[in-house]
Amino acid sequence: MTQDLLPADSADFPDASESCLLNNADGTNVNRFPTAVVIADDVIFFIADVLRESAQDACKEVIVALGEGGNTSLLCIPLDVIWIAAKAVNEGIHFCDDDLTGALTDASYKRLGAIHNDLAAVQTGVTTIDTNTSNVGNQISTVGAQVLTVGAQVSGVSTQVSNLDNHLAADFAALTAQLINLQASVDLANQRLLKTIAGEAQIMKLVLTPEAKRILAPSILTCTGSNCPTDLLANCTGPGGACTWNNVGPLP
């Protein structure tokens, strides 16, 4: 018994779930903010923080001019606004990164549990197979004793078995010859099918190409099947790689 491998994002396998739009993950891919983006944002926030801290003392000073006191704290408001914006972006980026890491950790933990359950089910099946194998072994032993009993009877018909063996050998040789002929016919049909597919692709390419630009791939005229071109429509540049009118890729 064989079982194909399940895809990493199969419906019954736990998957990562996160709340951020730009950071996301599925069963096979994890998309994070690039490291360069995170570092650049940290640097921008650090600079904004340094500017804000450096300006705090100056903004809190009271300037005495013309006998009246003046407060420069209003000058710090733009710096505070920049600092808050930089902090918000920085916190958002790191939150999304941490949120994705937590989601991946949770999904990995759940997947380990699912794998454990699957392995437990497999172990149960293996135990059942072992029991059945043991039972079959006992039955084989019983059959072995019966074979020994039948052996005496078989010796009496050895001549008939020999004749039957010769007859089967002749039938097998004839069947082998027929299979060889059948395989040759299948190979020929397969070559013709491949050539037909290539011809159909050439026809579609010609239909989708303006008349003044239509060119027949030279190898179509001489190919026998396995050497026929298979990329006649492989270079279409329409939306999603689709072949459309006057959009069938480079001509031969």
Q: Are residues 137 and 189 in the same domain?
A: no
Q: Are residues 85 and 127 in the same domain?
A: yes
**Higher model confidence: residue 237 or residue 100?**
100
Q: pLDDT per residue over 20-48, tens digit each?
A: 767 777 766 777 888 888 899 899 989 98
b vs e for 220-242, b when ≥16 Cβ sit within 10 Å of the residue's Cβ? beebebeebeeebbeebeeeeee
Residue 236 lies inside a defined structural domain of this protein: yes
pLDDT for 192 equals 84
Mean of pLDDT over the chain: 79
For the whole prediction, is pTM greater than 0.85? no
Half-sphere exposure of 37 (CA within 13 A, CB side): 12
Residue 126 lies inside a defined structural domain of this protein: yes
Q: Are residues 134 and 183 in the same domain?
A: no
Residue 165 to residue 237: CA distance in whole angstroms: 64
Q: Please compute the mean of the pLDDT values over residues 95-114 and round it to a whole number.
A: 83
Residue 191 lies inside a defined structural domain of this protein: yes
**Amino acid found at 214:** R
| Alpha helices (H) in the chain, listed in sequence order | 35-59, 77-156, 158-208
Q: Are residues 39 and 125 in the same domain?
A: yes
Query: Residue 204 belongs to what domain range?
Result: 174-241
Residue 209 lies inside a defined structural domain of this protein: yes
Angle at 135 between CA 130 and CA 138, to 5 degrees: 130
Are 225 and 195 spatial neighbours (Cβ–Cβ below 8 Å)?
yes
Residue 214 lies inside a defined structural domain of this protein: yes
Q: How many domains does the chain have?
A: 2
Residue 147 lies inside a defined structural domain of this protein: no
